[in-house]
Structure 1
């Protein structure tokens, strides 16, 4: 089995040394500094593993269940701490899929499951979200795609990268579709908590015995560098299989990631941080929406949740070529082309990152780049 590079990661690798002066499309909230956690850190903390529980700090797992609305539904033993949501997704896909199985995924969506499934030798079945329908998940198409051979359905909610949001009623129908064929249903919730249009949707781990919820502190809290995420599932064998595979990959969590994440998820601190992240997100999305409306060469469906969405370029304008054009002099502005999400006529727009991404300047340069595009 060989995992092949995806277009998204390939573009990131190719542009690592570009040193852009502005970023348009940053996908996470402004990151706090280590200093903001110092008063709560024990300087005598041993830098070994947590010495308490192989699945992660118990109090950290309790916080995760609480914020996901799973108190009394799921138990601490149902939670495994991982190296970000990416590792949680990896553990689930690699342990559940076998060659010849079918996995149903959404597009546009987070491409990780597609990459892993193809490496395993599973058949990938794509359900297409359409911009003309507000990027909503087409439930009838999903139902048609799922059959007795379907081993897993892999979705994101809020959707990454469009910002669409499935509500509880929609998610329950997805559960019913999965349950009708006994398929596993994995829902990546990395943007949960940043909902602009409606409340946070229920976590699938609480709705379905074969439901798997993954998430992390990366996006809403801006703590991507901690590499701390989680997997939640009520099926004990599924969680144990994930533990076994993690033993042969990252083995254990890094203690600093666990400890700082536990501090960040303490209810009083979490509530304050999320209020600030939501306020900044709403403010910046309003600015972005007004900016897009003023651009004659760009349209978008504003995200209902999260910090990113897809902007549509003029017809026949290739997003990969344009992204490279914008990254070069004189614009020096980074954005992700829609080719990273099977949407070559789009670019990713986002409002995360705080002052450090120089968003206003980036938008100004993007507007100039659109006008100067030689195509």
Structure 2
């Protein structure tokens, strides 16, 4: 079965084809650096041919991926991919077959549902508890397991709510994977931007069935590099994913790998995360005040990451998002229907000054007060 479009991407395609919005209340990544920020550390004689060192990716970059995740694993436990999305795609394609069951969270990253449908696997969604701040109950995940379950796919921090799975609950999930021999894939693209506690451990270090995916896209604002990874203790998983990648993107973006390698140097990484955390925390404070003061909105403030879900009273999220996108408001936010939640909107703290967030919030408030949505 062919891969079909999911609601999130469909909405983005439709809305970006129209006149570009003037303001954004929903940027999902930190302010992006510029190429000039890396030029002093790039070798002008760098060949743009494949680096030839390894089909798994630049060896020094793979080591930096392990270091930033706090994992004491060999570099061959890492495969460099075109973002976390490709890492997830390779895993879905290689580890699932027709008739298998895939457990995931709801709300969660919609790629899991799209790929389950394409593979003709059965998607089993475990609801997060909105009343308890979008908590995911490990026991509910355990109850969803059947003899046909082959994978559990989660995001930590959760996309789109920003709820963290703490270490003790990750341990419970790892025990489920161990007990049943199920692959436990955790997408950690927002790791490093925690507001309510320490960064939880990467799942690849907690169980041989754990697979961590991540990228430089969100916390470092380097989405355009398309540089991500998967980490797994099982060599066959890495090899199978590499084989599938050979038939799609084949090898990695050499320049992107070298820039990512620079970005993940300890001193650079600490400085970049520091800036992203300072800006993100300030913007989240502003969003929290806005939601608190706006009578038609409510939310659970994200524990990590740069996005969260706000519940809307009196209308559905998509009607509000489309009205806000139209003149005279010209402001973008993502409707919760992209995640199967029609009464919500996704708001974000990323993007920096270019997002014109303050102006966008004023327009959203005016629209909500106008009675037009």
TM-score bucket of the superposed structures, by smaller chain = over 0.9
TM-score, reference length from structure 1: 0.98
| Rounded Cα–Cα distance in structure 2 between residues aligned with 1:254 and 1:222 | 17
Contact 1:307 1:351 in 2 (8 A): yes
| Rounded Cα–Cα distance in structure 1 between residues aligned with 2:6 and 2:268 | 36
| Rounded Cα–Cα distance in structure 2 between residues aligned with 1:232 and 1:246 | 15
Compute the displacement of 1:289 (Å): 0.6
Q: Partner residue of 1:66?
A: 67
How many residue pairs were aligned?
A: 372
Three-state SS of the structure 2 residue aligned to 1:98 is coil
Q: Partner residue of 1:99?
A: 98
Q: Does 1:261 align with 2:291?
A: no
Counting only pairs closer than 5 Å after superposition, residues 35-184 of structure 1 correspond to structure 2 as 35-70=36-71, 72=72, 74-184=73-183
Compute the displacement of 1:148 (Å): 1.7
| Rounded Cα–Cα distance in structure 2 between residues aligned with 1:226 and 1:372 | 41
- Deviations along 1:287-336, one digit per CA (max 9) or x if unpaired, are 11111111011011000000000000005x21112111100001000000
- Deviations along 1:66-122, one digit per CA (max 9) or x if unpaired, are 11010x2x1100000000000000000110000000000101010101100111000
Q: Partner residue of 2:21?
A: 20
| Rounded Cα–Cα distance in structure 2 between residues aligned with 1:67 and 1:307 | 19
| Rounded Cα–Cα distance in structure 2 between residues aligned with 1:169 and 1:82 | 29
| Rounded Cα–Cα distance in structure 2 between residues aligned with 1:6 and 1:130 | 23
Three-state SS of the structure 2 residue aligned to 1:269 is helix
| Rounded Cα–Cα distance in structure 2 between residues aligned with 1:146 and 1:353 | 39
Compute the displacement of 1:216 (Å): 0.1
| Rounded Cα–Cα distance in structure 2 between residues aligned with 1:371 and 1:127 | 36
Q: Partner residue of 2:4?
A: 4
Q: Partner residue of 2:365?
A: 367
Q: Does 1:226 align with 2:218?
A: no
Gapped regions of structure 1 (runs ≥ 5): none
Q: 1:182 to 1:354 in 2, by over 3 A?
A: same
- Deviations along 1:114-154, one digit per CA (max 9) or x if unpaired, are 10011100000000012111001122211110122100000
| Rounded Cα–Cα distance in structure 2 between residues aligned with 1:64 and 1:5 | 30
Compute the displacement of 1:207 (Å): 0.6
Counting only pairs closer than 5 Å after superposition, residues 325-336 of structure 1 correspond to structure 2 as 325-336=323-334
| Rounded Cα–Cα distance in structure 1 between residues aligned with 2:350 and 2:313 | 25
| Rounded Cα–Cα distance in structure 1 between residues aligned with 2:240 and 2:255 | 25
Contact 1:146 1:178 in 2 (8 A): no
Three-state SS of the structure 2 residue aligned to 1:131 is coil
Three-state SS of the structure 2 residue aligned to 1:15 is helix
Compute the displacement of 1:374 (Å): 3.0
| Rounded Cα–Cα distance in structure 1 between residues aligned with 2:263 and 2:273 | 10
Q: Partner residue of 2:201?
A: 202
Three-state SS of the structure 2 residue aligned to 1:356 is helix
| Rounded Cα–Cα distance in structure 1 between residues aligned with 2:41 and 2:144 | 49
| Rounded Cα–Cα distance in structure 1 between residues aligned with 2:137 and 2:204 | 22
TM-score, reference length from structure 2: 0.98
Contact 1:187 1:214 in 2 (8 A): yes
Q: Stretches of 4+ moved more than 3 A in 1? A: none
Three-state SS of the structure 1 residue aligned to 2:79 is strand
Three-state SS of the structure 1 residue aligned to 2:131 is helix
Gapped regions of structure 2 (runs ≥ 5): none
| Rounded Cα–Cα distance in structure 1 between residues aligned with 2:283 and 2:215 | 22
